[in-house]
Amino acid sequence: MRRKDRELSAEEGMAILRDGEYGVLSTQGDEYPYGVPMSYVTDGKAIYLHGAAARGLWSRNMEAHETVSFTVVGATEVLPAAFSTNYSSVIVFGRATRIEGEEKRKALQLFVAKYSPAFREEGARYIEKAAAATGVYKITIDFLTAKSRR
């Protein structure tokens, strides 16, 4: 990292990842890199993503090239008079695989817990109904970098 004074620890990076609302998945395409904003969940060891049967460009790219990065930007504050911005961010580097069965069900439960915590019972029913039409990917975290300007 160029600015060592802004480097955060792995634990601080995981906190940004844990608390983030969305991130940007970056995949390798045949001609161009591809970045797409996505909702996500993490269990502290991996990141989970889902989509409608995961038939989009991002999932096709991951099927062809398993290495990906995932970026989350935490709180930001524009400082007009300083011509700068306070921020925190984390970039995760890892390998993506499609998951099925019990692992897929647990990942979908994490989505309900994060994004719809007051609707766990309804979420469980929704998972049972929609799981077959939902593709879920797991990004195993190889390493991450995190930084901030405060």
Question: What would the pLDDT profile of 70-113 be if each residue is shown by its tens digit?
Answer: 999 998 999 999 999 999 999 999 999 999 999 999 999 999 99
Helix (H, G, I), strand (E, B) or coil at 54: coil
Q: What pTM did the predictor assign? A: 0.91
**pLDDT at position 111:** 96
Kindly state the tokens that stand for 120: 């766990």
Secondary structure element (H or E) that encloses residue 10, with its range: helix 10-19
Is 52 a residue whose pLDDT tops 90? no
The domain made up of 4-101+134-149 has a fold known as Pnp Oxidase; Chain A (2.30.110)
pLDDT score at 132: 87
- Looking at per-residue confidence, does 135 or 52 come out higher? 135
User: 119: which residues sit within 8 A by CB, 6+ positions away?
Assistant: 112
The residue type at 19: D
Domain ranges (residues) in the chain: 4-101+134-149
Task: Give yes or no for residue 142 having a pLDDT over 80.
Answer: yes
pLDDT of residue 1: 63
Cα within 13 Å of Cα(115), Cβ side: 15
pLDDT > 90 in the chain, percent: 78
User: Which residue(s) pair with 11 in the sheet?
Assistant: none
Average pLDDT over residues 8-26: 95
Contacts of 69 (CB under 8 A, 6+ apart): 25, 26, 91, 92, 93, 94
Closest CA to 137 of 96, 94, 95, 102: 96
**pLDDT confidence band for 150 (50 / 70 / 90):** confident
